[in-house]
Structure 1
Amino acid sequence: MAKQVTQDMLSASGALTDSVWADVLAAVDRTYADLVDYQEQLERKNTELETMRSFLASILASVSDVLIVVSRSGRVEEVSASFPEGAAFAGQPVETLFRPEDRPRLAGAMARVALNRAPETIEANLATPGDDAPLELSISARLDDRGRITGHVLTGRPLGELRRAYAELEQSHDELKAAQALLVRNEKLASLGRLLAGVAHELNNPISFVYANAHALDRYAAKFETYFDRVQAGASREELIALREELRLDREIGNLREAVAGAREGAERVRDIVEDLRRLSAEGTGEMIGFDLVETAHVAATWVMRGTEHGVRIALTGVPRAIVRGRPGHIQQVVMNLVQNALDAVAGEPDARIEVATRIAGDRAVLSVSDNGPGVPDDLRQAIFDPFFTTKEVGKGTGLGLAISHKIAEEHGGALRLCPDGAGACFCFDLPLAEGGA
């Protein structure tokens, strides 16, 4: 360039002036500066290329799955360090790495990937000795900066490991479900254990009543037997009248009817208690059925109150009937847990009260259990449903009641929640109404 400029100037002026030499030197400086800049760009590109090469080499060396980089012609360019004897296959057709029966499937998949530009996954076995487990082979296209196919990338993971992992996952899932069912049953048994004293007391009263009336009936039967023996012996009318007055049979006839009625009432009371206990202890597994949420809550709350010595008033308010779908045994357990927690919260409180309320909200029935105790502190609200979290003394709570109740509510398509406001604590959950359940 400088030579051409000089020639042009010489031809134009015929002599080299100072200004001409200055222009020549400036042109040389610009050319040199362009060459230096171009060299720096080449060095930067070379550094970036070396960095990328080192990065790709580290990936190929560290990846645990089989990784094969294939050229556009279908020959092996690079393989990961995890590939057995990988360096020996460089430059060979990629089909030679796999068993003969898998090669047509591999070729077809690579052709489809090149045509559709979409990854594809097949199963294939390596041809190397000792590798009997099939690979889950993912095939992707390699594209240049203009979007043209330059080859393929094959990534394979042994299916044996995946299948073992799936089997272990399914086994863990089954074990988790079994453990969850066991926790539900254990918590329910713990709740029932707390009620044993109340159950014994409730059964003892009517049974004692029946037992006392049975003794009275035996005494009345002995008096009537004495009277009828004298009648059969042919006693005179005057003697029978005197005996009747002596045995007070006229009064005992009334007492006999009262004893029979009392025995029947006690037996019916025992029957009702046993029926409630049977319904309460029902496992409640299997498919969901329709049941009356109000009645179920009443039975659960009544049994909790039977097992307590607190002088607490409990009120059942809201709709008189709400037929919902669910497992009544599990819902009874939730209500029992909530009522028991409310009883523990109001213990020692003056004028302690608990309210179990049921209402209808759209196509769902909502049940709430509230008390006038101290409530739940703000710093504990986030952890109140965590497993094994409890504010009770050691030995008085497992910390599983609310966690299991929350899980049961979720299984029924609802959620157990802590009400945001109000005095004391309030927990509520909702269940879907059965058809015509409102």
Structure 2
Amino acid sequence: MPPIDSARQRSPSNRLAAPAAPEARPAALDGVDEGVWIEVIHKMDEVYNDLLQYEVALEEKNAALEDSQQFIESVLASISDILIVCNRHGLIQEVNDSLRRIVGLDEDALRGQPVCELFADDASRQRAREFFAARPATVQDCELLITGRDGSPLPVSLNCTPRLSGTGKLVGMVLTGRPVGELRRAYHALRQAHDDLKRTQQQLVQAEKMASLGRLVAGVAHELNNPISFVLGNVLALRRYTARLQTYLQAVHADEGVRSPGVEDLRRELRIDRIMDDLAPLLDGMTEGAERTRDIVDGLKRFSAIDRSAEEAFNLAEIVERAVRWVTRSGGKRLAVHVDLPKELPVIGSSGQMQQVLMNIVQNACDATVACSAPRLEISATCAAGGVELHFADNGPGISPDDLARIFDPFFTTKPVGQGTGLGLSISYGIVERHGGRLEAANRSQGGAVFSLSLPLAQA
């Protein structure tokens, strides 16, 4: 919009000259009364005063117009949204700085160009042509692609409104809008954060359930300790009593003078000798069962208790056997597990945490081989240089190369929704690292996956 010349910028010499004084006027023409000249001079003074007033009013209006123009230009320059003013044929008349920054062209290059040439694809150009139909209407939130400064398409949400003259005649269209790329990225980031928050909430709920389960197991294990202690104590007492009774009966039956005539018949009828022979195996079985139950309860207490110190000695081979026994017996399908380990694998650390790691590895093998006709897991050990390396090899489908690189990442799981949390291997990885070892995963050449757990052995 070109600036309007202000009358205030004119020099005083450009102002209207005042009429000459009566003394400087020529003498009255013959036949003309002097009163007529005086009246003409008064009229000229009135016209001159009117012209001065008009000039002052014009200067004020020019000043107001300049202020309005500067205000409009400053507003248009500060608008972050793009603004395009077109005539009714779709030719650009005015644009703001925001559009010029986006497309990388100045106002002279844009003025007079068809607005459709600003768009990046045929669909956007066709949609822009529809804005200038025979009977255009207001368009709201129409997303089109504009060619950016570097030639890449930028999504822009446009609004199009008809521009009318003072008499209501269509003279053009006004397009306003804003780039939606940043908004879309912010929306995706917000959605990702919301999904992460939901997953974290689910993990917290699951963790609280596991904590409650641990407290329940600890309480049950504590309650089971008392009856198991009673059973073991009574079995030991019965074993002592059995030995005494056996000695007594042998003495009774050895003394023929003490025995009554029907004692031998009653002895054979009640099978006293067979009962006495079976007492020792029965007591041994009861003792073994009670001791196994005591070991299971002790393992439950260790697994569910909070580890106050990770500096305790334990046999890693026993933890492996316990983890295999718990997972295979709780699984719906029988997993054939072949364990080839030394009887003693002394390790310093937390037996409860290590049992959690081993149960997780065995459970993953059980889940990976669920579709196999004969699921199998082989556990072996290699001892060297003061350490032990356990190998858990299954005959499942293995791990894909893409998943292998992030299998220990938190919240990553290949299991269906609701069947895996994606935290088991991640937590196991951290536990093994805190014990000074390492946990690795790979695929076997003959098929299936293998997890390798390395730990330092306790020094004698």
TM-score, scaled to structure 1: 0.44
Higher relative contact order (CA 8 A, sep 6+): 1
Please, what TM-score do these two structures have when normalized by structure 2? 0.42
Q: Which has the larger radius of gyration?
A: 2
Question: Which structure is higher in helix share?
Answer: 1
